[in-house]
Amino acid sequence: MRHSSSARFTAACNEVKKKNITVWVISFGTSANPVMQDCAGADRYFVAADTAELDEAFATIAKRMGELRVTR
């Protein structure tokens, strides 16, 4: 990402997280992007080099989302 697009992405990410929305990121077929990795957080950022790793990342996300509970 170029600097200006990185700054816009970071600002948008921060606004989304202020609304208590969880951000998940999967880099598929490319190296880790530090800006996106920071947005998602270490336990919600995945790197997948192939379809098997992509399937594994989605399975992990689904499992973690399945463990969530809605509360007031």
Q: What is the predicted pLDDT for the residue at 3? A: 65
Q: What does the pLDDT profile of the chain (72 residues) look like in tens digits? A: 556 888 999 999 999 999 989 999 999 999 888 999 999 988 999 999 999 999 999 999 999 988 766 666
* CA–CA distance, 63 with 35 (Å, rounded to integer): 25
CA 44 to each of CA 2, 4, 25, 60, 72: distance values in angstroms, whole numbers, following the listed order: 23, 24, 6, 9, 24
> What is the gyration radius of the CA atoms in the chain, in angstroms?
14
Residue 43 identity (one-letter amino acid): D
